[in-house]
Structure 1
Amino acid sequence: MLNSIISFSVRNKLIIGVLTLALIGYGTFSLTQLPIDAVPDITDNQVQVITSVPSLGAADIERLITFPIEQVNSNIPGLIEIRSFSRFGLSLVTIVFDESTDVYWARQQVSERLQTVKDELPKGMGVPVLAPVTTGLGEIYQYVVRAAPGYEERYDITELRTIQDWIVRRQLLTVPGVADVSSFGGKLKQYEIAVDPNKLKSFGITINDVFTALEKNNQNTGGAYIEKQTTVLYIRSEGLIGTMEDINGIAIKSDDNGIPLFIKDVAEVQIGSAIRYGAMTYNGEGEVAGAVVMMLKGANSNEVIKDVKERIAQIRKILPEGVEIEAFLDRTKMVNNAISTVKTNLMEGALIVVFVLVLFLGNLRAGILVASVIPLSMLFAVIMMNQFGVSGNLMSLGALDFGLIVDGAVIIVEAVMHQLALGTRYSSLNSLNQTEMDNEVKLSAGKMMNSAVFGQIIILIVYLPILSLQGIEGKMFKPMAQTVAFALIGAFILSLTYIPMMSSVILSKKVKHKKNISDIIMEKIESVYQRLLKKVLSFPKLVVVSALSLFAIALIVLSSLGGEFIPALEEGDFAVDTRVLTGSNLNVSIDATLKGEKLLLERFPEVIKVIGKTGSGEVPTDPMPIEASDMMVILKNKSEWTSATTFDELAEKMSKELEDIPGVTFGFQYPVQMRFNELMTGARQDVVCKIFGENLDTLAHYAQKLGNIANTVEGSANLYVEAVGGMPQIVINYNRAAIAQYNLNISDINRIINTAFAGQSTGMVYENERRFDLVVRVAGQQRQGLSDVQNLLIATPTGDQIPLYQLANVEIKEGPNQIQREDAKRRIIIGFNVRGRDVQSIVNELQQKVESQINFPPGYYVTYGGAFENLNAAKQRLSIAVPVSLLLIFTMLYFAFNSIKHGLLIYSAIPLSAIGGIFALALRGMPFSISAGVGFIALFGVAVLNGIVLVAEFNRLKSGGDLDLKSIVITGTKMRLRPVLMTALVASLGFLPMALSNGAGAEVQRPLATVVIGGLLIATLLTLFVLPVLYILFETKLVRKKRISPSITLLLFGLAFFSIHTGYSQTPISLEAAIDTALVNNQLLKNEKVRAEYQKQLIKSGVNIPQTTVMGEYGKINSSFSDNRFVINQNINFPTVYSNQKSVLKEEWKSSVLNVAVKESELKKQVSQAYYMLAFLHQKKKLLLENDSLYAEFLTKAK
């Protein structure tokens, strides 16, 4: 079939040319449609449920809101885990599903269950809502809204937040692909009724009276319409509050004289703001407003960012004078940097591959032809990536090795050139015409196509373990394996069609081959190699022992490398986790952040700007408390740095400078990496230790002990121990007897407390389209301390007002700060980042210390997560998938050579290649990572290919009759040295730019490229010397153990008897007659012929239609009346099933016929061997008899 495709392609050049142009056109179009991103999105498939409850503390929120939501969602199909976070004012439940679950179906299931549980939740304490459909890569664009220089007095942070919410955000929400825009910072504008409790008491009214008056005087209604002659007049009232004057003029009640008491008499009406749980600062200058644009899951980030920027440009035109929008975190920067690195590496790798091809092939046309497969296969891969939803990113495109892609094309072109140079059919001609050239191409390409196909299948098989990866590592590396597979399939198709066609057109048709520089270089290499090989063959045992010793040393080195999940992607900017003491107010956090921003701007010229985000945004998918801030440090390009040369070095220097700010801790990470960690593990750090238990105080105690131990481990940095307690709270413990005495109830008291301090909305105030809450609360100067709470006046049913302290015990206590749960169990987190050391060794050391120093009580235990957990999960998966892949490769080798011995011989290339990969990692100081593991997987495939090339050539020479194994090895290595070196160099040097690159994202590619380059170079060197030695040892051992088989022995005995018998009575039998007799009488051959005839007859059963089934029933089947039912059933498969069955049977018959031919050939060989052995023995007998006669005569004469 393959030969037919090649012949068709060579004959129909125009068709193949048109199809190639179509590939170029459609591939180019697909390239413009390909989603581009920096890295694959590794976020879990999750749904987040957010409930804002400003009035409840962490313990109450866990008990009353978080727990019911967890319980009701715990049995959804496809659920993996449930994590929750409860702190003052907020409940966040993260429900994680497996990857096969559709996220919109999952959201629907969660929504339905929330409807069933809403009656269990406290009334008026917030409504659970689903977070936007976004991911860890969803925060694509972040910006600030600030006053331009000179306009600072004109726009305060309340006005800036209003502009953000009602102008900027509304416009951005209409951009396709935007899931939500989370406003951050500023103050949320409200119309505030600041009540004076003393005035309320003097007028004999309560805060509830004020609330009721406002509620009843802020509404519209209608009265349908009345008819007037031929028209109608619609009736509507306008009672909505529109201005502060309207509010001031609302009457609360009237006195006995009918004089009304207005709102203005007991409260101050002003523009206020909602209680803040977050803020945003800019460059150490002060507060601003801003937002985070969240992209819809699955959208094309490039397109969405482009549309957002266009909309921002339009919004700038309609902003009030003196207001600016300034982006500070634009994912385009990271994407462009990463894709630029990929482009540079791919282009440089392609140029190196072309250079090596031209150098080794010695033919510019041939080199360019082979190199043209690179862009064409890439376009094919892009088409398939679009079809299968694979985005173009650092991982999917970054691991393409053009050396592997062109391997099949190299085999075909090299075979054509070899055929033209050494062929004898046209040796008398100077050049070929087109027909002769076509024939030569078809002949040579057809011979080598099986080798090319086999090699590419081997490469595809070695990538199967990567496709088996699950979870985070699967999302990270599956796109890479898919893209490589697409490119290899494209290269394979091109090798069948495009390469043969173009070879017949552009390769030189001259028959005479002149020696070129490539031949001269190869002659010198061959000369040196042959001399070394002959010396090596003299010490076979030393070579084998040396190779085994190197492998043992490599295993020892591997065990000392340590391990990490994936090297951190240098995103180009820093996210600095900033924390002040637990219980600090928002102003303290803002002040610490402003100091940090100023310090970084003043002392580090690499910093462009610093934006601080304190607490939570409007969409609290990142539930930070008000004592935590993220400083986004926007940096210049690395080439402009002066303070440091690497990100780690710069982070260390910045961290030391920030130590000047007392009472604040700082942790350096990258923005996207930090967001990934939050969404996947619920913590931001690289390594996360989780202690599970029930009692919060016990958890805090052991967390502190574990944190102290973690601080002693070298390489741990930015330690974070979750503060579950230490939150100062004013706790009101009611005296139920006193409440009963005054005929009160707790519900009414709670409402007064909530209204007085948190504020209660009585409705909305409309300013055209804008809406603002109308809130009643106690004036700010009377909401300052414990005494204000204790002296809050509570109205009794008799009209008296008594202070709260007479009804309850009001005191300051420490309560839970936040409570985290995972799979319905409380947990506490101890996290730290890794600096200057691998994750595996750090966690191993930490585990040993924890086990020896901490004895957890019953029901309490610790787990280790984060990057360490991901690394272990990937290792476990690979520990199963890699052996399966290697077994498949061995099976392929066995079927290719029909020999376990040769399969094992070629398999020796795998440990030999591992030696080089391990030593390369050690020399560059890199730990083992999943990226390096993927490099080993790719390495094994290429290393096996070189072994196949050599062993196949050795076997070919051996079958030619040369029994001198040493000559076979020397000749075979000489003939296949060029393709072996070419395959190894193009595959390894194609990765050289990745191994040496310092561009953005190169740190992820570097381990993979290092393993492949080091492994291939060492493997090729060892293969060229060790494999020939092993081949000789294997074959020599086999020959020594070889014995004549029982069948040959019987055959020899029978022929000997037959020959002796006829020697005295008939003419001796000829070889042809002996063979004919054996072919007629051999039982094994008869059995094979019978089996072949049986397979031939079996073809008729290919169309096997099952019997028709007829069934009848009588009785009360469908009702109480007796009735009849007849059923006729006939099963017929789809027609293609029968045709396929018949095709299979035909192939089995053909295989049987071939087996007969093989048996005949083997029998002829056996008979020939036996015949010549008998002839030899017969002649030897004659010679011995003659010698006997001669010696007898000598004896006679001597006597």
Structure 2
Amino acid sequence: MIDQIISFSIRHKFVIGLMTLVWIAAGVWSMMRVPLDAVPDITNNQVQVITQAPNLGTEDIEQFVTYPVEVAMANLPGVVEIRSISRFGLSVVTIVFKDDMGTFLPRQLVAEKLTEVREDIPPGFGDPSMGPISTGLGEILQYTLEVDSAYRKQYSAADLRTIQDWIVKRQMAMVPGVIEVNSFGGYIKQYEVAVNPDELRAIGLTISDVFRALEDNNQNTGGAYIEKDHKANFIRGEGLARSLDDLRHVVITNVNGLPIMIKDVAEVGYGQAVRYGAMTKDGEGEAVGGIIMMLKDANSNEVIEAVKERITEIQKSLPEGISIEPFLDRSKLIANTTSTISNNLLEGALIVIFVLVFLLGNWRGGLIVASTIPLSLLFAFIMMHIFNVWANLMSLGAIDFGIIVDGAVIIVESTVFLLHQRLLKGGKIDGAVRDETAKEASSKMMNSAFFGQLIILIVFIPILALQGVEGKMFKPMALTFMFAMMGVMILCLTYVPMMSAWFLKIGKGEKRSWGDRFVEWLERRYSGVLAKALKRAKWIGLAAVALFALAIFTFSRMGGEFIPQLDEGDLAFHAILKPGSALSETIETTTEVEKLIMDNYPEV
């Protein structure tokens, strides 16, 4: 079978050449569409149930919210573990499912259970809902709303938060691949009614009467339609409050024919919601910004580009003097990582090409072998696109060019050797002779090398059986290497024999190349060393055992890490204050820390 494929490739050079062009085109097309990221996403298959109850303490949250949710979710099919966090005003329950259940089936199961959970949670204790369909690597971009110095006094923190929530967030949420936009900092604008208890008592009203009046008089209603002049006139009652005056003139009750309004018993004005966090930046005090979350399994590079385009559009609709300034951009990390991978692959390929050309002593043969490196990578990209394998530091960084070019090296070297033998015997080398020589060398070498390459593929099969975090981390590495290896196996059976027969030529002179001289020098040195080693076999064996033991000892003392070290170019730190510290104290402290860093480190 191998001999037949090689013979066909040499006889039909045009077909193999055309196949190679299609190979290159498909590889480049796939390379442009393979999802790109910095590192593999190892987040497990989880669904979060989030409940906000700003007025409840930690114990009440745990007892009345978190515990009912955990009990309801415990018996769902495919649940691996359930963990929760209960804090003041917040409950987060994380339900981890098996990976093979997919993304949407677990969410459907949780959504069905949430209907029952809402009945078990007391009224006013929060409404549980599911978190976004995202992962631990879902944060793709963080930004702040910056105000020009000339307009600094024109916009307050509440104004910026209103712009963020009602202009930026709503337009950003429509970008394909964006699952959620979280707002941070500033003050959430509210209409506040400050009731005067003395006035209520004098009139004989209660706070419940005020609340009920505001609730009933702040909504729009519909009244069907009436027919007049052969037309249907739809009735609509507008009662939605749109200003402070609308709230002030809401009628609570009538006393002796006189309407008692909100303005008679309370002061109406603007206020802000109680907040439990803030955002500071560059030592200049509070800031307002947002975090953009990406949909799970979306292409982060494409989503970030779409987000940047949308930022340009949103900028046109912002008030004068306000701009959106990203300060944490995931695409920069991806660019740095891919640059590192590209440099490593390029440097490795150049070293291999230099060594091949130098040792083979034939630049044509070196180019044939070297061309299998990009071709095998393009095949790997084709398979990665088909099987949805992401390109990242782990998957592309594992490719070993030395192993990949082994088969091509021995075919080209054998072909060069046989051509030299024919030339030394005085034979004429024409196209037919090159075809016959390439077929003989390729068939002889690949009958043994093919199974060697197959063994290398088999070695990586156990990695594909890894599960959980280990599987998500190392499966892409194994698959990418196996794809590249399969690509070079196909090339060694088709492309390399064809190119050896068509492109490979040797000089008529008997002058030895630098590579031949270097190999002969190594052979002479190695022969002497080998002869001495054979005479001292016992000592060599003991030395090998001692080195093996030393290697085991050294390995047991070596440090380890789960993933390769990745230098993002950023430093992250947390300012931790004493438990119970006020928010104002935290803002003041973090602002002071930022000032110290900005003043002492000019490069920040």
Residues 432 and 509 in structure 1, CA contact (< 8 A), matched pair in contact too:
no
- What residue is the counterpart of 1:172 in the other structure? 172
- Count of residue correspondences: 604
- What residue is the counterpart of 1:537 in the other structure? 534
Residues 432 and 511 in structure 1, CA contact (< 8 A), matched pair in contact too:
no
Measured in 1, the distance between the counterparts of 2:549 and 2:51 equals 58
Q: Deviations over 1:1168-1199 (max 9, x none)?
A: xxxxxxxxxxxxxxxxxxxxxxxxxxxxxxxx
- What residue is the counterpart of 2:153 in the other structure? 153
Identity of aligned residues (%): 54
- What residue is the counterpart of 1:618 in the other structure? none
Q: Deviations over 1:395-444 (max 9, x none)?
A: 111121111111111111111112222359x8232x31111211111111
Question: Structure 2 vs 1, CA of residues 413 and 567 (structure 1 numbering), >3 Å: closer, same or farther?
Answer: closer
Return the letter of the residue paired with 1:428. G
Q: How does 1:870-1019 map to 2 (within 5 A)?
A: none
Q: How does 1:480-495 map to 2 (within 5 A)?
A: 480-495=477-492
* Deviation for aligned residue 1:144: 0.6
Return the letter of the residue paired with 1:472. V
- What residue is the counterpart of 1:950 in the other structure? none
Measured in 2, the distance between the counterparts of 1:502 and 1:202 equals 103
Residues 250 and 262 in structure 2, CA contact (< 8 A), matched pair in contact too:
yes
- What residue is the counterpart of 2:353 in the other structure? 354
- What residue is the counterpart of 1:110 in the other structure? 110
* Deviation for aligned residue 1:66: 0.9
3-state secondary structure, aligned to 1:261 = strand
Q: Deviations over 1:1038-1091 (max 9, x none)?
A: xxxxxxxxxxxxxxxxxxxxxxxxxxxxxxxxxxxxxxxxxxxxxxxxxxxxxx
- What residue is the counterpart of 1:86 in the other structure? 86
Measured in 1, the distance between the counterparts of 2:302 and 2:442 equals 45
- What residue is the counterpart of 1:136 in the other structure? 136
1:581 aligns with 2:578: yes
Measured in 1, the distance between the counterparts of 2:411 and 2:13 equals 17
- What residue is the counterpart of 1:994 in the other structure? none
* Deviation for aligned residue 1:116: 2.1
Return the letter of the residue paired with 2:536. F
Q: How does 1:542-691 map to 2 (within 5 A)?
A: 542-607=539-604
Residues 46 and 96 in structure 1, CA contact (< 8 A), matched pair in contact too:
yes
Measured in 2, the distance between the counterparts of 1:168 and 1:225 equals 38
Measured in 2, the distance between the counterparts of 1:2 and 1:199 equals 99
- What residue is the counterpart of 2:430 in the other structure? 433
1:210 aligns with 2:207: no
- What residue is the counterpart of 1:388 in the other structure? 387
- What residue is the counterpart of 2:338 in the other structure? 339
Question: Structure 2 vs 1, CA of residues 495 and 148 (structure 1 numbering), >3 Å: closer, same or farther?
Answer: same
Residues 145 and 323 in structure 2, CA contact (< 8 A), matched pair in contact too:
yes
- What residue is the counterpart of 1:927 in the other structure? none
1:462 aligns with 2:459: yes
* Deviation for aligned residue 1:200: 3.2
3-state secondary structure, aligned to 2:287 = strand
1:324 aligns with 2:323: yes
Q: Deviations over 1:768-823 (max 9, x none)?
A: xxxxxxxxxxxxxxxxxxxxxxxxxxxxxxxxxxxxxxxxxxxxxxxxxxxxxxxx
* Structure 1 runs not aligned, ≥5 long: 608-1199
Measured in 1, the distance between the counterparts of 2:222 and 2:468 equals 58
Measured in 1, the distance between the counterparts of 2:232 and 2:251 equals 35
- What residue is the counterpart of 1:447 in the other structure? 444
- What residue is the counterpart of 1:787 in the other structure? none
- What residue is the counterpart of 1:233 in the other structure? 233
Measured in 2, the distance between the counterparts of 1:283 and 1:509 equals 67
1:281 aligns with 2:260: no
Return the letter of the residue paired with 1:488. M
Greater RCO (Cα-Cα under 8 Å, separation 6 or more): 2
Q: How does 1:494-513 map to 2 (within 5 A)?
A: 494-508=491-505, 513=510
* Deviation for aligned residue 1:453: 0.8
Q: Deviations over 1:592-644 (max 9, x none)?
A: 2111111111111231xxxxxxxxxxxxxxxxxxxxxxxxxxxxxxxxxxxxx
Residues 66 and 93 in structure 1, CA contact (< 8 A), matched pair in contact too:
yes
Measured in 2, the distance between the counterparts of 1:453 and 1:196 equals 90
1:525 aligns with 2:522: yes
Bigger radius of gyration among the two: 1
Residues 38 and 337 in structure 2, CA contact (< 8 A), matched pair in contact too:
yes
Return the letter of the residue paired with 2:388. G
* Deviation for aligned residue 1:162: 0.9
1:514 aligns with 2:497: no
- What residue is the counterpart of 1:409 in the other structure? 408
Residues 416 and 506 in structure 2, CA contact (< 8 A), matched pair in contact too:
no
Residues 185 and 279 in structure 2, CA contact (< 8 A), matched pair in contact too:
yes
Question: Structure 2 vs 1, CA of residues 563 and 30 (structure 1 numbering), >3 Å: closer, same or farther?
Answer: closer
* Deviation for aligned residue 1:575: 2.5
Q: Deviations over 1:11-63 (max 9, x none)?
A: 00000000000001111111111111111111111111101111211111111
Measured in 2, the distance between the counterparts of 1:359 and 1:39 equals 36
1:313 aligns with 2:312: yes
Residues 359 and 514 in structure 2, CA contact (< 8 A), matched pair in contact too:
no
Measured in 2, the distance between the counterparts of 1:186 and 1:53 equals 20
Q: Deviations over 1:161-216 (max 9, x none)?
A: 11111111111111111111111111111111122334434444321121112122
Return the letter of the residue paired with 2:114. L
Measured in 2, the distance between the counterparts of 1:65 and 1:393 equals 40
- What residue is the counterpart of 1:1075 in the other structure? none
Measured in 1, the distance between the counterparts of 2:353 and 2:78 equals 49
Measured in 1, the distance between the counterparts of 2:94 and 2:218 equals 39
Measured in 1, the distance between the counterparts of 2:235 and 2:344 equals 73
* Deviation for aligned residue 1:465: 3.4
Measured in 2, the distance between the counterparts of 1:580 and 1:196 equals 38
Residues 177 and 304 in structure 1, CA contact (< 8 A), matched pair in contact too:
yes
TM-score, scaled to structure 1 = 0.49
Q: Deviations over 1:325-350 (max 9, x none)?
A: 11010001100000000001110110
3-state secondary structure, aligned to 2:123 = coil
- What residue is the counterpart of 2:101 in the other structure? 101
3-state secondary structure, aligned to 2:40 = coil
3-state secondary structure, aligned to 2:146 = strand
Provide the alpha-carbon RMSD of the alignment. Answer: 1.6
Measured in 2, the distance between the counterparts of 1:464 and 1:222 equals 66
Measured in 1, the distance between the counterparts of 2:232 and 2:374 equals 74
Question: Structure 2 vs 1, CA of residues 409 and 233 (structure 1 numbering), >3 Å: closer, same or farther?
Answer: same
Measured in 2, the distance between the counterparts of 1:562 and 1:333 equals 29
- What residue is the counterpart of 2:269 in the other structure? 270
* Deviation for aligned residue 1:567: 4.3
Residues 144 and 326 in structure 1, CA contact (< 8 A), matched pair in contact too:
yes
Measured in 2, the distance between the counterparts of 1:49 and 1:277 equals 20
Q: How does 1:781-796 map to 2 (within 5 A)?
A: none
* Deviation for aligned residue 1:315: 0.7
Residues 362 and 506 in structure 2, CA contact (< 8 A), matched pair in contact too:
no
* Deviation for aligned residue 1:510: 5.5
Return the letter of the residue paired with 1:517. W
Measured in 2, the distance between the counterparts of 1:509 and 1:563 equals 50
* Deviation for aligned residue 1:384: 0.4
- What residue is the counterpart of 2:299 in the other structure? 300
3-state secondary structure, aligned to 2:359 = helix
Question: Structure 2 vs 1, CA of residues 197 and 573 (structure 1 numbering), >3 Å: closer, same or farther?
Answer: farther
Q: Deviations over 1:136-166 (max 9, x none)?
A: 1110011011322121211111111111111
Residues 142 and 291 in structure 2, CA contact (< 8 A), matched pair in contact too:
yes
Measured in 2, the distance between the counterparts of 1:151 and 1:203 equals 47
Return the letter of the residue paired with 1:247. L
3-state secondary structure, aligned to 1:39 = coil
- What residue is the counterpart of 2:370 in the other structure? 371
TM-score, scaled to structure 2 = 0.97
Q: Structure 1 runs of 4+ off > 4 angstroms?
A: 509-513
- What residue is the counterpart of 1:2 in the other structure? 2
Q: Deviations over 1:913-948 (max 9, x none)?
A: xxxxxxxxxxxxxxxxxxxxxxxxxxxxxxxxxxxx
* Deviation for aligned residue 1:98: 1.9
- What residue is the counterpart of 2:15 in the other structure? 15
Return the letter of the residue paired with 1:111. A
- What residue is the counterpart of 2:35 in the other structure? 35
Return the letter of the residue paired with 1:349. G
